[in-house]
Amino acid sequence: MTELEIGTSVIEMLRQVLRVKVKMIQPEARIFSDLGAESLDVLDIRFRLEKLFGISITDDEIIASLGENLTNEEIDNAFTVQSIIDFTSRKMSAVMV
Amino acid sequence: MKRVLITGASRGIGSAIALEAARRAYDEVIVHYHENHTAADEVCNDIRKMGKAAIPFAANFANADGVDSLIELVRTYKEIHGIVHAAALNVFKPLSALRPNQWDLCLQISTGSFVQIMNAIIPMMPSGSAVVAVSSLGSRMAIPFYGPMGPLKAALEASVRQYAFECAPFGIRVNGIAPGFVRTSSIEKFPNATELIQLASLQTPLENRIAEPDEIAPVAGFLLGDESRWITGQILVVDGGFSLS
């Protein structure tokens, strides 16, 4: 699966979860501040990524992948649509290896 | 060999009921949990200290496949004599602010999984078996920031009555418990937790406090046990009198 295909699937998944217009789901869009996600939605996103891509994601792994010892504000800024695509691509690569 | 399955058994009321089941007539307790391996191991170790067998099993109830994985495990046994459904997920916000995905996720984990498990496992339950679903007072009264949980517990209670009716000819009893406010990690997730606990304590005529999980578990144990053999389709309120006024 190419990164473009992963990106397309992630964007559609985010549209379904967060009920926002596709045009809002830009790579730099912040999941919490710009797209209105809450903590339960991050859990939902995780479960859907696991099912969509056949990967296994541990608790807090997505947020932890953003960096160590980040403040809430830094997490908010780093947790973007692109960060989810990148995270998924890395997990997919690991699965293929 | 009497065997019982407890869903959501790694913490809170579920773990207290798992220990209660081990204290009673069950020889083997299947401890379902989502992903807190450490907590599940602790529950299993406590059960084993009582001389009973414990089987931890992780399954994600967010989708039907996850529930199926637990059902597959249970099907490896010949019989199962008890089910307690304590697994639940909530989002603590006004129901009117809920998004469809949040409703769907909470519905599947809290109530949908119960129906899926029951439909698969009822044929494996011999006469004399019992089922207990853990509901809450939210099924019958509005609670601020309780999100979808009240309506989902109401659906759970309706499912209990329906299953009680359908399973009675096979000698299987199905009941529920509806605790009031209980000191678990869930109550801390209310945005107004401190105020809520204070108010609930004041309104509870028995000792003016909220409950501990081990005060709820014996009631589930009673409904699992033979001493409640003439009770089915009922929801026992366990709230220290909170709902009286």
Catalytic residue among B2, B52, B153, B163: B153
Of the candidates B69, B140, B74, B152, which has an alpha carbon nearest to the alpha carbon of residue B109? B152
Report the pLDDT value the prediction gives residue A1, as an integer from 0 to 100. Answer: 85
Give me B1's structure tokens: 């060999």
Read off the pLDDT band of B245 (50, 70, 90).
Answer: confident
The answer, yes or no, to whether residue B88 has pLDDT greater than 90, is yes
pLDDT, average across residues B6-30:
97
Distance, in Å, from the CA atom of B94 to the CA atom of B96, rounded to the nearest integer, reads: 5
Which of B68, B89, B101, B189 best tests the A interface by mutation, with the highest count of A CBs <10 A?
B101
Helices A81-96 and A3-18 cross at an angle (nearest 10°) of: 130
Cα A90 to Cα A8, A64, A97, B53, B92: the distances in Å are 16, 14, 11, 40, 33
Report the pLDDT value the prediction gives residue A94, as an integer from 0 to 100. Answer: 80
Identify which of B63, B99, B100 has the shortest CB distance to residue A51: B63
Which residues of A fall within a CB distance of 8 Å from B106?
Answer: 40
Q: For A21-69, how does the pLDDT look when each residue is reduced to its tens digit (9 = 90+)? A: 999 999 999 999 999 999 999 999 999 999 999 999 998 899 999 999 9
How far apart, in Å, do the first and last CA atoms of chain A sit? Answer: 13
pLDDT, average across residues B135-162:
97
The answer, yes or no, to whether residue B73 has pLDDT greater than 60, is yes
B244: phi then psi, degrees, rounded to nearest 5: -75, -30
Report the pLDDT value the prediction gives residue A96, as an integer from 0 to 100. Answer: 64
Identify which of A19, A40, A47 has the shortest CB distance to residue B100: A19
**Cβ(B57)–Cβ(B31) under 8 Å?**
yes
Percent of chain B with pLDDT over 70: 100
Mean residue pLDDT of chain B comes to 97
CB-based contacts of B13: which residues, under 8 Å, 6+ apart? B86, B134, B179, B182, B184, B213, B216, B217
Which residues of A fall within a CB distance of 8 Å from B62?
Answer: 43-44, 47
CA dihedral A80, A85, A89, A90 (to 10 degrees): 10
The answer, yes or no, to whether residue A93 has pLDDT greater than 90, is no
**Cβ(B61)–Cβ(B111) under 8 Å?**
no
CA-nearest residue to A57 within chain B is B35
Read off the pLDDT band of A87 (50, 70, 90).
Answer: very high
pTM of the model: 0.94
pLDDT, average across residues B11-23:
97
Identify which of A38, A50, A51 has the shortest CB distance to residue B91: A38
CA-nearest residue to B34 within chain A is A59
Read off the pLDDT band of A97 (50, 70, 90).
Answer: low
B143: phi then psi, degrees, rounded to nearest 5: -130, 125
